[in-house]
Structures are given as structure tokens and as C-alpha cells.
Copies of this chain bind each other. A is one copy, B any other.
Amino acid sequence: MIIVMQAGAAEAQLAHVVARVEGLGLKPHVIVGTERTVVAVVGDERGAASGGLETLPGVASVMPILAPYKVASREVQPEPTVVRAGSLVVGGGTVGVIAGPCSVESRDQIVATAAAVKAAGATGLRGGAFKPRTSPYSFQGMKERGLELLAEARAETGLAIVTEVVSPEDVPLVARYADVLQIGARNMQNYRLLEAVGRTQVAVLLKRGPAATVEELLLAAEYILDGGNRQVMLCERGIRTFETHTRFTLPLATVPWLHARTHLPVVVDPSHGTGHSPLVESMAAAAVAAGADGLIVEVHPDPKCAASDGGQTLDFAAFSRMMTVCRKVAEAVGRRL
């Protein structure tokens, strides 16, 4: 880390900083500049209580040098991770497409959707059985019955099941049915839940929280990887900004930025990322062009009757059109979908 001293900091203050850095087992290098003195610190700073250093008298600021994540880093594993979960392959040049309703509502709904999205080229089926909802007065999901219906849809179509788990105590139950455990955006920093899925060997789709930095997303992944589960996909689904014409703002530059720093594959969610079905096809195509390794898209037989998220959900025909466009764009950038 780099410790910047205040202009006019006293010699004794500098000596105190140097002593404290040495006390942490790190090695200080003092550089006297024309206006400021800085202390460059050599050693693994991740464990150091750097917060404390910035409160020392005479210190102006402390800047970390090392990225705080390790196992997720490309420096540790240069070759990209490819996630394989049943029919679903994400990464390594293959764009995996996960599609399905926000919530599982009935056997007919989920089986019909599975058949339609498979026909259009999807390789995973999404569907929420445990629903985290902003309001306690909204539909909360079918729970285990929903998981059973997902399993029936898988039996009929062969599609891998992607479904959300919202609490550590549900992990064993959901893991019995799911091919991929989804961690929702609201739970990206629910560390007990991250630890619980990290102890399974089921693939995980980890969604970025709407106020999380990309470094925080990687640190959340680190909780899962650190537990021994290496089958982790990161998911960009939009951040909260001042924009109100979309539900969230979908920052696709996340995709190439992450690819340069982590070996984990990156999935994009154009449904939550925009919140409006007329914008989904364009943003799905843009995500593929930006290099996304996967898409997760909300599809329902009759969006206007959906129990949740109808406004951002495609019907079967719109999803099929979206897939046609995305397939061409994938080819244009040297990938297959």
C-alpha cells in the first residue's frame, strides 16, 4: 500500500508511521517528494488493518495496491473457467442461455416454457420457487412444490435447472433439485448463504448487487471459491443510478473488465438490467457482442398474466426472435450460442 503524508507532517509523525508499518510485519520505503512524503509499503497488505493507519497523525490517505481478491484472479488461474451443469455450458467460447419465468406458477406454465425456450436454443431453464420480494404483500413463490415442477420440466426437456436459494437452511433442499444455485442480487453480501453454497459442489450463479462494485462482486465470489466450490458464474444484472427510464442501468463494460481480471465466466441479465421487455433483445445482443459468456432472460407464456416481473418478460415469439439475433452476433464475435 502507499501511505501519503500530509504536507508539513512532522518527522516524528513519519517515524511513528514507519514504526507501525514495521510492527505489522511489512516493509516501509520512504520517498521524500517536493510537496509530499509518501511511504511505499512492501508485503501482503490484505490482512493489515490499513483502516487504522489512516488515523495516525500526519497521514493524509492510504491507497491499496493489491487487488483484495485472490482465488478469483487471473493471476492465480490464467485459463478461463468453464461451468458445466447438465445441459448448460457457460464459458470457453460457448454462450449459455438460461431462460424461463420469474416465478414457477404451475406445471403447465413451466413445462410449456421449458419446451419453448429449448426449441429456441436455450440450454438452461430458470424459474423461481423461493422468491425474495420487496413487499411482504407480494407473491412469495411456490417453495418446494415449485422445485418439484422444475424437476418435472427438466425430465421432459433435459434442460438444466437454475433456481434461487435465499437462506442457508434451504441450501440442502434446493441443491437436491437444482443444477445451478442462483444467489440473487439482494443476497450478494449474505455471507452465511455464500458460505453455505460454497460447501456444495453445485454450480452457482452469483448476481451483482445493485450498489456493489465489481471488486465487491469478486470478493463475494471469493467466499464461495474459498469454501471449495469452483463452479461459479458471475452475473451482471444492472446497478442503481439516477436513471429512471430503465429499472436499473446495465453497464456492459463490466464484461471485458472482468474478463481481464478473473477466470470466472460472466453472464448478463438483460431482463432485470432494463426492466422493460422492448429493450431486452437489443441489450441481449449487445451483451453477446461485449463478450458475455451467458445470458439469463425472463420468458413466460403470457407475460401480462405473470405473477411477477411481467413488464420485463418476453413471450415465446419475442424470445425466439431474440435468439436469432443473438446467434448471429455471437458468430460475428467468434463465439457460438
Q: Which residues of B contact A49 (CB under 8 A)?
A: 305-308, 310
Which residues 139-170 of A have a CB within 8 angstroms of B?
Answer: 166-169
Q: Which residues of B contact A240 (CB under 8 A)?
A: 211, 240, 242
Verify if A325 is at the interface (C-beta below 8 Å from B): yes
Known: A33-B65, A35-B44, A213-B244. A134 touches B189 (CB 8 A): yes
- Shortest CB-to-CB span from A143 to chain B, Å, is 12
A187-B190 Cα distance, complex, nearest whole Å: 7
- Shortest CB-to-CB span from A218 to chain B, Å, is 10
Asked if A55 and B304 make an inter-chain contact with CB atoms under 8 angstroms apart, the answer reads yes
Asked if B257 and A245 make an inter-chain contact with CB atoms under 8 angstroms apart, the answer reads yes
Verify if A255 is at the interface (C-beta below 8 Å from B): yes
8 pairs, CB–CB < 8 Å, chain A vs chain B: A8-B75, A33-B65, A38-B65, A51-B309, A55-B313, A243-B251, A244-B244, A249-B253
Asked if A249 and B256 make an inter-chain contact with CB atoms under 8 angstroms apart, the answer reads no
Verify if A172 is at the interface (C-beta below 8 Å from B): no
Verify if A18 is at the interface (C-beta below 8 Å from B): no
Q: Which residues of B contact A209 (CB under 8 A)?
A: 211
Chain B, residue nearest A216 (CB) = B134
Q: Which residues of B contact A68 (CB under 8 A)?
A: 134-135, 137
Known: A43-B33, A55-B304, A239-B249. A282 touches B278 (CB 8 A): no
Residue in B40, B187, B214, B246 whose beta carbon sits within 8 Å of that of A38 in the complex: B40
Interface string of A233-262 (1 = CB under 8 A from B): 000000111111110011111011100100
Q: Which A residues have a C-beta under 8 Å from some C-beta of B?
A: 2, 4, 7-8, 20, 29, 31-36, 38, 40, 42-44, 46-47, 49, 51-56, 63, 65-66, 68-70, 75, 132-137, 166-169, 186-187, 189-192, 209-211, 213-216, 219, 222-223, 226, 239-246, 249-253, 255-257, 260, 273-274, 277-279, 282-283, 285-291, 303-313, 325, 328-329, 331-333
Asked if B255 and A282 make an inter-chain contact with CB atoms under 8 angstroms apart, the answer reads yes
Q: Which residues of B contact A329 (CB under 8 A)?
A: 289, 329, 332-333
Q: Which residues of B contact A8 (CB under 8 A)?
A: 75
A43-B32 Cα distance, complex, nearest whole Å: 10
Q: Which residues of B contact A312 (CB under 8 A)?
A: 51
